[in-house]
Amino acid sequence: MRKIYPTFFGNENIPGPIILTDGIEENDSLKLSTDSYEVFVNDDKVGNKLLLTQTDDPNDLNDFLENNGFKNFKVNVVGNSIIIESNERPHKMKEILSTYLNIR
């Protein structure tokens, strides 16, 4: 939400108040820059997930893992970290995610 600052001038050329704003709008759905998340599998960092578009989401990794045959895993987003917990072929999961995150 913009903050509005009414300003009054004592000049006959300016008949009323002028409204100035701080230029900042709170809009969480607007993507202003690239968001980056560190990705961990069982406490081992495998790379960084960059959100390049407004439709990118940290939870996109759920679909990616499922499409690669993984079923038993849990994804938690905590701050700027994506933490994946799995006992299902964790070495293979780390390898696939590392490759995916490096090419994106």
32-57: pLDDT as tens digits: 566 889 999 999 999 999 888 888 88
> Is 79's pLDDT higher than 70?
yes
Residue 18: inside a domain, yes or no? Answer: no
Check residue 70 and give its pLDDT. 96
Q: How many domains does the chain have?
A: 1
Residue 10: inside a domain, yes or no? Answer: no
What residues make up the domain containing 86? 32-103
pTM for the full model?
0.66
| pLDDT per residue as tens digits for the range 9-28 | 555 665 555 555 555 555 44
Q: What value does the mean pLDDT take over residues 62-86? A: 94
Residue 81: inside a domain, yes or no? Answer: yes
* DSSP letters spanning the chain: ---EEEE----TTS-S-EEEE-S----TTS--S-EEEEEEETTEEEEEEEE-STT--TTHHHHHHHHTT--SEEEEEETTEEEEEE-SSHHHHHHHHHHHHHH-
